[in-house]
Amino acid sequence: MNGPVHTPAGALADSDIARLRLIRTYRALRIATVVAAVMLLAAIVRQIRGPVGWLSSISGYYYSNAQTVFVASLAAIGVSLLSIFGVSDVEDTLLNIAGSAAPVVAFVPTNPLDNDRYEPYIGLVRTSMWAYLAGAVVSVVVMTLAARDEIRAGWHPAPTRRWFLGGLAASAIPAVVFLVLGFTAGAAGLPHLHLAAAITLFGAVGVVVAGQALRNLRTLGRTLRLLVAVLATLAGLLLVFAASPGAWTIIGVALGAVGLLVGWRARRDFAAVGLSTGWVGCYALIALTMAVSPVGILILDHHHPIRHEVFIIEVIELACFGLFWALQTVEHWNEAGRKPESTGLNVP
């Protein structure tokens, strides 16, 4: 959208006003997701600088004064992920799966601090899952009615209808599993449900990020060079700051320098072929970071113990999610949902 179309009198046409409202709503929904992630990180930083200090994981701050923000932020992120339509039926399904997992991460806490008993929290979990069930029922009913209207309107031709309907069914499966386990698991099993929901959330988002990175295979060579640059730079930083001074520090500095040099050359390549290719490179970097950083940190921790390694991994994953969503918001700033061609709707 290059700008509003004005009538001779200088006022916006009704169609432009309606589209502007739609775009503003879409922007606000995307921005709200980033804001929720920033609020969560801000609350955790506040607790780190206060009497709570560093904990073993982000989930541990559920048992601190950050609990309200922790639950509210993850619930808001879940609703936003469910509300945003992806650029394809597959991406939309993954966003729905991630959206169904985010509230479970918030509602079902991890193991209490200092080996406290989990039993006092079971009633809280059951009540939260009842609310989750109510929201899931309403969502399924509304999505079913909307899908029926879309099919009747011809938005989903026969070749793509199976993907669309299969995606809706696949989106409901994790929610059903979460509900069953949330109502039946005891004190020993609920922390595992929290972990499974967290892995589902970041796993689904990671696949979405990777899909965005691979949507234009013509940029694969440039993207691989950029990935090598980021990997070398991250490895160098980890060696410099986490390893003992000595030869590993020198190797870390060398790796970091190589990574920066290759990254600078890759950046120029992206600039030469246009901004859209740059988006692909950015998403590839985020996808690589989300996939490699947990493995790299755990391997490094095995050889050179790192304090709070799980917390570091979770912060990296959350920061990558926030950055990805912020970049998506900028890239699609003047759009209002998925493109017509991705739905099969014929729009001039």
Q: Using one digit for the tens of pLDDT, what is the confidence trace for 162-195?
A: 766 777 778 888 899 999 999 999 888 999 999 9
24-40 average pLDDT score: 89
Rounded-to-integer distance, Cα 93 and Cα 164, Å = 9
Q: What residues are paired with 12 via a beta bridge? A: 6
Task: Work out the average pLDDT over 228-235.
Answer: 69
Question: pLDDT (tens digit, 9 = 90+) per residue, 88-130?
Answer: 778 888 999 999 999 999 999 998 876 678 888 899 999 999 9
Structure tokens at 255: 């790796």
- The residues with which 6 forms a beta bridge, in sequence order, are 12
Q: Which letter, b or e, does each residue of 264-277 get, where b requires 16 or more Cβ atoms within 10 Å of its Cβ?
A: eebbebbeeeeeeb
**Mean pLDDT of the residues in the chain:** 78
**Tokens encoding 195:** 């972990």
pLDDT digits (tens, 9 = 90+) for 245-285: 666 677 777 777 777 777 666 666 555 544 455 666 677 77
What is the pLDDT confidence band of residue 196, given thresholds at 50, 70 and 90?
A: very high
Task: Output the six-digit token pair for 276.
Answer: 């859209």
Contact assessment for residue 43 and residue 70, using Cβ atoms and an 8 Å cutoff = yes
What is the C-alpha separation between 48 and 308, in angstroms, rounded? 12
pTM of the model: 0.74
